[in-house]
Chains A and B, each alone.
Chain A
């Protein structure tokens, strides 16, 4: 069964550093998402992406965040200057169409020290 993959599984970085989280969505999917979950808290929507542009973004997704689909397979989330409060599990998701049935990856645990 096809699945969404994410790398790395765990990333440790120092405050102020840039990080890039990578995702490979399911191959025939067209809609892509990033969510995050701070330890012990709710899963929060960050951004949705379709047709090479952002469809929607949350208040969390400020100028420090960007997304890109550099080729036909990868979907990346960049945080330019990480803060301590960016420490969280980041989940990528994809869907074949506009749908509430989204396929989530296993997540990248980001730890900012």
Chain B
């Protein structure tokens, strides 16, 4: 199971782009990088998943360099409602399909 490291917290302002970088130096060849979002007193919510290069959906973009030792979640033009904890996961197929959450990055969007 790849250990992930991400900033504990980040502050931003409405309308800005927020980039959260996660390092996963020992990610295995077959493992995907997965990001979840959690609002206070709610369950985690899947945001995006990728293997390499760039993945984009209606919520975020995920950039993964060729060596896959890190990844960056990009949230375009954040609003106050994007204030949440963002988790980077590198779940291992060898460990089954359970999700192992770390401490996440607490993003605070200010007006």
Spell out A's residues near B (CB within 8 Å).
4, 31, 33, 35, 42-45, 48, 55-56, 58, 89, 91, 93, 95, 98-107, 109
> What range describes how many residues of B lie at the interface?
20 to 34
Q: In angstroms, how far is the closest chain A Cβ from the Cβ of B9?
A: 14
Contacts of A109 in B (CB 8 A): 41
Contacts of B13 in A (CB 8 A): none
Cβ of B70 < 8 Å from any Cβ of A?
A: no
CB closest residue in chain A, given B87? A43
Spell out B's residues near A (CB within 8 Å).
32, 34, 38, 41-46, 49, 87, 89, 91, 96-103
Contacts of B101 in A (CB 8 A): 42-44
Does A100 contact B41, Cβ atoms closer than 8 Å?
no
Q: In angstroms, how far is the closest chain A Cβ from the Cβ of B20?
A: 17
Does A55 contact B49, Cβ atoms closer than 8 Å?
no
Does B102 contact A42, Cβ atoms closer than 8 Å?
yes
Known A-B contacts A42-B101, A45-B100; A100 and B91 likewise in contact (beta carbons under 8 Å): yes
State the CA gap A58–B42 with chains docked (Å). Answer: 22
State the CA gap A106–B42 with chains docked (Å). Answer: 5
Does B44 contact A100, Cβ atoms closer than 8 Å?
no
* 16 further interface pairs, Cβ-Cβ under 8 Å (given A35-B99, A100-B89): A33-B99, A42-B101, A43-B44, A45-B98, A45-B99, A45-B100, A48-B96, A48-B97, A48-B98, A55-B96, A56-B96, A56-B98, A91-B44, A101-B46, A103-B46, A107-B41
